[in-house]
Amino acid sequence: MPTPPVPLQLATLAVHGPEKRTSVGAPVVFPLVQSVNYLQQVGTEAGLLYPRYGNAPNAERVQATMAALEGTEAALLLSSGQGATACALLALLRPGDHLLSSEWIYGGTRQLFLEQFPAMGIEVTLVDPTESRVWRQQLRRETRAIFVESPVNPTTRVLDLRQLRVLASENGFALVVDSTFASPVNFRPVEHGADVVIHSATKFLNGHHDVLAGVVAGSAAYIEEVRQKMILWGQAPDPFAAWLLERGIKTLDVRVRRHNENALRLARWCESHPAVERVLYPGLESHPDHEVARNTLNGFGGMMALVLRGGGEAAERFVSQLTVIAHAPSLGGVDSLASEPRFSSHARLSPEERAAAGIPDGFVRISVGIEDVADLISDVQGALR
């Protein structure tokens, strides 16, 4: 078979993966290998396969594809985004180390950092990511990594990584980016100086609301460390999850482009509605990080938020009137979803803490799906009425 021109574009890699199929009779779709055990060679441990080790066939396929999409040497598939964050950081931090993190992070990540890490002797400082001087001020001799999430859940803020990249490389520690909201179609953190990329693959990567999984991407040596954590803390995925995820990733490029298009149109429509106090979407000129988003993202994403006049009551009335957009947590799938972070990802924060983080009562997050945008607009219009 002739060798295809290299390098392949992202959409092609997402469909085919980086490995070429050459043998006649090979299936076009890589089959599900729903086996936990594999025959082993006698007299050696080399080549031993076991799904918990992250080396079973379906996981290997997704790992190779994700490394190609993120532009890293290697990637690892785990059983959830939360597992990915935990193992990614446990591979970087030891007791006595210090983690410097943005305070604008997913609620589960925040709990991991503030409730679990200190008990393991790992100190964590949360900083306002827009306060550029504070990052430097909070550095310690023991700091081993910087963690950020961008775009931020649920406020859709977009961070400029330039300063953090300098800080991390000057001090020789890792810049870790949770890039769940962007997917590699809209943003590839490594091209902006990140060392480690984390995804909740449950979201855009899979895209169909039917798989729980996570990905960590980085250098081959580092991913080997993460793999050891995954093996021993039991965070590997089932082969069927990996198979479904490979199928989801094949359509990532078209899905994300449609998410981007629909969200921009819905956000623009909402901007002029009198019941809406504020629309948060990085593609709008009114967004505080619109310039950063324009300069760094390839697309503004499928996530937006509304702050409704009338607070929590107005938000409840709104979500209960929606008929096309489902009231459900999570995000990044083909079906549009609306949720109130005060009852989901940020339920453990006090109302004051949420308001300080830009999530006042009345805040509704919308994960804009790939339906016809006219139906989404009329659904929102009806619910706002």
Ligand X SMILES: Cc1ncc(COP(=O)(O)O)c(C=O)c1O
Catalytic residue selected from 203, 229, 255, 365: 203
Q: Please, which of residues 165-224 interact with ligand X by CB under 6 A?
A: 178, 180, 200, 202, 212, 214
Active site residue 53: no
Integer Cα distance of 62 and 60 in angstroms: 6
Q: Is 74 in a helix, a strand, or coil?
A: strand
Binding-site member from 106, 113, 204, 300 for ligand X (CB under 6 A): 106
Q: How many CB atoms lie within 10 A of CB 9?
A: 8
| Nearest residue to ligand X, scored by beta-carbon proximity | 81
Work out the burial of residue 29: count CB atoms within 10 Å of its CB; fewer than 13 is exposed, 13-18 middle, 19 or more buried: exposed
Integer Cα distance of 340 and 347 in angstroms: 9
- Per the document, the length of the chain is 385
Q: Which stretch binds ligand X (CB under 6 A): 105-113, 128-136, 269-277, 304-312?
A: 105-113
Binding-site member from 17, 51, 81, 282 for ligand X (CB under 6 A): 81
Binding-site member from 80, 101, 156, 183 for ligand X (CB under 6 A): 80
* Strand (E) or helix (H) holding 240: helix 239-250
Binding-site member from 65, 82, 150, 262 for ligand X (CB under 6 A): 82
- Residue 15's closest CA among 254, 257, 251? 251
Name the phi and psi angles at 8, rounded to 5.
-75, 155
Q: Return the number of the residue (108 or 193) whose C-beta is nearest ligand X.
A: 108
CA max distance for the chain = 74
Q: Return the number of the residue (105 or 292) whose C-beta is nearest ligand X.
A: 105
Write out the two tokens for 51. Answer: 């799904």
Q: Please, which of residues 261-280 interact with ligand X by CB under 6 A?
A: none
360 touches ligand X by CB under 6 A: no
Binding-site member from 18, 57, 71, 108 for ligand X (CB under 6 A): 108
Binding-site member from 70, 97, 149, 195 for ligand X (CB under 6 A): 149
Q: Return the number of the residue (58 or 82) whose C-beta is nearest ligand X.
A: 82
Active site residue 281: no
Q: Return the number of the residue (117 or 314) whose C-beta is nearest ligand X.
A: 117
Encoded one letter per residue, x for contact with ligand X by CB under 6 A and - for no contact, window 11-30 reads --------------------
On whether the CB atoms of residues 79 and 229 are closer than 8 A, the answer is no
Active site residue 50: no
Integer Cα distance of 314 and 148 in angstroms: 32
- Residue 258's closest CA among 311, 334, 321, 193? 334
Integer Cα distance of 167 and 52 in angstroms: 36
- How many residues at the interface with ligand X, by CB under 6 A? 16
CB of 384 to ligand X, least distance (A): 26
CB of 271 to ligand X, least distance (A): 25
CB of 152 to ligand X, least distance (A): 8
Q: Which stretch binds ligand X (CB under 6 A): 80-88, 249-257, 289-297, 374-382?
A: 80-88
Integer Cα distance of 27 and 16 in angstroms: 12
What is the amino acid identity at position 10? L
Catalytic residue selected from 50, 52, 162, 165: 52
Integer Cα distance of 189 and 197 in angstroms: 7
Active site residue 160: no
CA angle 346/347/352 to nearest 5° reads 80
Residues forming the site for ligand X (CB under 6 A): 80-82, 85, 106, 108-109, 149, 153, 178, 180, 200, 202, 212, 214, 345
Residues catalogued as catalytic: 52, 106, 178, 203
